[in-house]
Amino acid sequence: MDAKKEVMKLARKSNGTMSENLKNEIARELGVFDIVEKEGWGSVSSQNCGLLVKRAIEIANQQLQK
């Protein structure tokens, strides 16, 4: 399975973990929200999906430290 399909498979499995609002907010921050709006999450590159996950983890860690 190629990397993009694997990322999308993991994203679908964890869909209940991260709210749509948070995913959209991070996508805006990374500059890929226009792709999500026009073509859906499946069109976001695996690199950008990885950056999205990385940013979500950073946000979660910040929340835990409060």
* pLDDT tens, position by position, 39-64: 999 999 999 999 999 998 888 888 88
Question: What range defines the domain where residue 31 resides?
Answer: 3-65
Q: pTM above 0.75?
A: no
Q: DSSP of 18-51, one letter per residue?
A: S-HHHHHHHHHHHT-HHHHHHH-GGGS-HHHHHH
What token pair was written down for 14? 């964890």
Q: How many domains does the chain have?
A: 1
